């Protein structure tokens, strides 16, 4: 099981939250195939983002294991079943949570992730990035993975007023998460 925190921002309501995304995965027999179940309401953009992230994670696992491996996976979004989650910004977090659940990575409550993932594994810019970083700083997050395109526009010092000294790491492709130490801890594969 792995939980990743996603700083969200809704420009319509001028508010946001730190959204936990938890993935539980267990290997199953090839004859059963694998299954995916989502707990928590989500909009179309987030559903598409989740499907892309999960497809990339399954492809990555097949490459790493040198064979096709099947998993039953449960993805749980947030803690409030009344809130509809939408937008593509959670794609990188879903990918990391899926990989972490399958590889036995440990999650850290001090790490947050935002970034839209494309089908080729590239991580592209997201909106509301400065507001998302303020939320992370207020939420006692110390490290935030963001799209490399967004990282270029962010400065550490501007979040000190919110009580945070954020370590902002830019990611341009999902493969880069394998070299980030905050997710290598506890790796079993």
Catalytic residue IDs: 89, 132
Does residue 72 sit in helix, strand or coil?
strand
Q: Which is it for strands 167-171 and 143-147: parallel, antiparallel or unpaired?
A: parallel
User: Which tokens hold the place of 78?
Assistant: 């947030």
Distance CA 169, CA 42 (A): 27
Environment class of 115 (CB within 10 Å of its CB; exposed 0-12, middle 13-18, buried 19+): buried
Q: Which residue has the tokens 């928590």?
A: 40
Distance CA 93, CA 116 (A): 9
């Amino acid at each position: 099981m792995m939980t990743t925190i996603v700083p969200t921002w809704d420009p319509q309501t001028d508010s946001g939250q730190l959204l936990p995304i938890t993935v539980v995965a267990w290997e199953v027999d090839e004859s059963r195939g694998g299954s995916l179940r989502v707990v928590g309401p989500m909009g179309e953009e987030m559903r598409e983002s989740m499907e892309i992230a999960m497809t990339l994670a399954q492809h990555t696992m097949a490459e790493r294991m040198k064979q096709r491996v099947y998993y039953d996976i449960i993805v749980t979004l947030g803690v409030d079943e009344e809130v509809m989650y939408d937008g593509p910004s959670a794609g990188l977090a879903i990918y990391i949570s899926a990989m972490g659940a399958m590889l036995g990575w440990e999650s850290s409550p001090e790490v947050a992730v935002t970034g839209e993932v494309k089908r080729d594994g590239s991580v592209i810019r997201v909106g509301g990035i400065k507001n998302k970083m303020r939320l992370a700083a207020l939420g006692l997050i110390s490290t935030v993975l963001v799209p490399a395109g967004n990282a270029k526009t962010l400065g550490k010092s501007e979040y000190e007023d919110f009580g945070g000294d954020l370590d902002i790491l830019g990611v341009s492709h999902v493969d880069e998460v394998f070299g980030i130490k905050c997710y290598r801890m506890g790796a079993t594969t």
